[in-house]
Amino acid sequence: MKHFALTASLLLLLLPGLLTGQEKQAHNLSTPVSISITNGQLTTLFNQISAQTGIYFSYDPVLVNADQTISLTMQNKPIQQVLEQVFKDRFQFKLLKNQLIITKRKAQQPVFQTDPPEEIHYELSGILTDLEDQAAISYASISILGHPLGTISNTDGEFRLNIPSEYESDTLIISCMGYARQILLLDTLQNQRLNLQLRPIKIHLQEVKVTAINALEVMEKLSDRIPDNYGSKPLLMNCFYREVLKQDKAYINVSEAVMDILKSSYTNPFRQDQIRYLKGRKSPNVQPFHLVDFKMQGGPYYITKLDVIKTMDSFIDQEFRNYYRYEVDRVIEYLNRPTVVIHFEPNGKFDYLTYEGELYIDRETFALVHAEFSLSKNGKKIARRSLIKKKPRGFNVRPIEMNYTVTYKNHHKKWYLSAAQTSVRFHVKSRKDRINSMFHSISDLLVTNYRETNLRRFKRFENFNSNDIFREIITDYDEAFWGNYNIIKPSEDLRKALKKAPAPESSLPSKSQPHALTSQTKQP
């Protein structure tokens, strides 16, 4: 069965190592050690170095196979030389006090930019609130009529949009589900910070009888009209990606970047989308909390798989229509168009990941314009088994929720990927190590502009792939980093997390036990 590789591809790592006897002074990589191993495991090497120096190892068990067999004899050789003898040039080593961190050696990351950002005439910013209760309106679309350029509001209702000179006399459209659209002339908005209140709408389309709409017929038309509704030419999409991770109430990491997506034709199911990194920044405070270092593998790569029309996920694919139940829930007005909302859920229990949620389908064109879905109840049980690849004894890792959304935008009578989000919560508990934490990861993708292209593929070294750790390829925080690029403006709490000073080295845990916990999404 077809399932997209969930954006919840996660790695949870406890700092591994071995403490024998009294903790020794921290050394450097030139400290000599003597090693004697015959057909032993890699962990034996780590243990011998730890016993002689008091240095303890931190590594990703997916990349470093600690169970591999090695034979090695070296007398009074520097630690650096010993490790290079074993790992060759595949890894790099960094010593923080008595923690030796092994990471994959990265090639020099060039900054690619095929087209410079357009000349910006001015920056338009503001805040969106509900007219009735003054609440902030998040994830509202702010775009220019007739053009693909746009952004969305953050969780505080704030937005920022760079207006190129060629659009200064165009029309700004602000829209959000459940609110009346606002249309403003850009040439009247220069040098203003907007404070806009959107009027809630509750429209019941009385002329459309829900009972008269057959959900399966709507789904069949959705599938049949994909070639008519979605682009048949490759696109080069400029996008903004943000990855946020919290452990309980504390931010572990905030990373964000501008990237390019080479979006292949929706009529070519065999060519996958490609992603390349342009520039990014991250919070300086990325030290592990409570012995747990939590990483997301391939975040930007996997979030593009939320384009369920392109990937033809199981609840969209005609071939697997009988595995789900579909029911028309309501008919609403969405983007000034009648839209059928179809609820779907698994038609029984299956031994693979299944989903439930809502599909928003345009009543006139039968295009999918928005989807909200999550793992079904049985899917969560399957996920608990399939997501956890490796964990130490005594650790309980339980997925609490995995929620996904994807939105499409209409331009010249075709629908294109506009935004996607994944929200994942994991509960990690170990009585022995006194860990009882909730991890919450949120990833956002926003397409800010796009154009047709003759480019067939990115160069191999440009590609961001499924094994890359996003936060490890980007630079530190810079207040004036983005320049003319359009982004999702960070909320107030994210701005604080981005500016937060890094934790001092002395806060690194130095008495960690030899644990390694890895969870990873697998394809059923």
Each residue's pLDDT tens digit, 240-291: 999 888 888 888 888 888 899 999 998 887 788 999 888 888 876 555 444 4
pLDDT band at 132 (very low <50, low <70, confident <90, very high): very high
Q: In angstroms, rounded to a whole number, what is the distance separating the alpha carbons of residues 358 and 356?
A: 7
Decide which of 450 and 96 is more confident.
450
Would residue 384 count as lying in a domain? yes
Q: Which of 198, 223, 244 is the last residue of a domain?
A: 198
Q: Are residues 78 and 190 in the same domain?
A: no
- Could you give the 3-state DSSP secondary structure of residue 302? helix
The per-residue pLDDT for 219 is 96
Q: Are residues 307 and 404 in the same domain?
A: yes
DSSP category for residue 511? S
Would residue 517 count as lying in a domain? no
pLDDT band at 448 (very low <50, low <70, confident <90, very high): very high
The per-residue pLDDT for 118 is 58
Q: Are residues 135 and 56 in the same domain?
A: no
Among 452, 454, 359, residue whose Cα is nearest residue 412:
452
Residue 203's DSSP bridge partners are none
Would residue 9 count as lying in a domain? no
Backbone CA torsion sign across 243, 246, 247, 250: positive
The CATH number linked to 193 is 2.60.40.1120
Angle at 52 between CA 51 and CA 57, to 5 degrees: 60
Would residue 186 count as lying in a domain? yes
Q: Are residues 355 and 442 in the same domain?
A: yes
Each residue's pLDDT tens digit, 144-201: 988 889 999 999 999 999 888 888 889 999 999 888 889 999 888 877 789 999 998 8
Contact present, 325 and 296 (Cβ < 8 Å): no
Would residue 180 count as lying in a domain? yes
Q: Are residues 381 and 259 in the same domain?
A: yes
Mean pLDDT for 127-136 is 94
The per-residue pLDDT for 115 is 53
Would residue 27 count as lying in a domain? no
Q: Are residues 234 and 366 in the same domain?
A: yes
Domain containing 86: what range? 32-104
Q: Which two tokens stand for residue 472?
A: 């490890």
DSSP category for residue 119? P
- Rounded to the nearest angstrom, the gap between the alpha carbon of residue 333 and the centroid of all alpha carbons in its chain is 30
- The set of long-range contacts for 461-466, using a CB threshold of 8 Å and a minimum separation of 24, is 461/107, 462/110, 462/112, 462/276, 462/277, 463/274, 463/275, 463/276, 464/259, 464/275, 464/276, 464/277, 464/298, 464/300, 464/301, 465/298, 465/301, 466/5, 466/9, 466/297, 466/298, 466/301, 466/302
Contact present, 466 and 441 (Cβ < 8 Å): no
Please give the tally of structural domains in the chain: 3
Would residue 191 count as lying in a domain? yes
Burial class (CB in 10 A: 0-12, 13-18, 19+), 319: exposed
Q: Are residues 99 and 126 in the same domain?
A: no
Amino acid at 229: N
Contact present, 364 and 484 (Cβ < 8 Å): no
Measured torsion, CA atoms of residues 386, 392, 396, 397, in degrees rounded to the nearest 10: -40
The per-residue pLDDT for 474 is 67
Q: Are residues 391 and 441 in the same domain?
A: yes
Contact present, 10 and 387 (Cβ < 8 Å): yes
In the block, which residue shows the tokens 């960094």? 94
Decide which of 20 and 50 is more confident.
50
The per-residue pLDDT for 131 is 93
pLDDT band at 113 (very low <50, low <70, confident <90, very high): very low
In the chain, the N- to C-terminal Cα span, in Å, equals 7
Q: In angstroms, rounded to a whole number, what is the distance separating the alpha carbons of residues 504 and 261?
A: 37
Each residue's pLDDT tens digit, 383-428: 766 555 455 567 777 788 889 999 999 888 899 999 999 998 888 8
Q: In angstroms, rounded to a whole number, what is the distance separating the alpha carbons of residues 265 and 273?
A: 9
Q: Are residues 456 and 390 in the same domain?
A: yes
Q: In angstroms, rounded to a whole number, what is the distance separating the alpha carbons of residues 101 and 113?
A: 32
Q: Are residues 264 and 364 in the same domain?
A: yes
Q: Which of 75, 104, 133 is the last residue of a domain?
A: 104
pLDDT band at 524 (very low <50, low <70, confident <90, very high): very low
Q: Are residues 249 and 361 in the same domain?
A: yes
The CATH number linked to 42 is 3.55.50.30
Would residue 7 count as lying in a domain? no
Mean pLDDT for 322-332 is 90
Q: Which of 52, 77, 104 is the last residue of a domain?
A: 104
Q: Are residues 88 and 134 in the same domain?
A: no
Q: In angstroms, rounded to a whole number, what is the distance separating the alpha carbons of residues 426 and 149?
A: 35
Q: In angstroms, rounded to a whole number, what is the distance separating the alpha carbons of residues 376 and 353?
A: 8
Q: In angstroms, rounded to a whole number, what is the distance separating the alpha carbons of residues 143 and 419?
A: 13
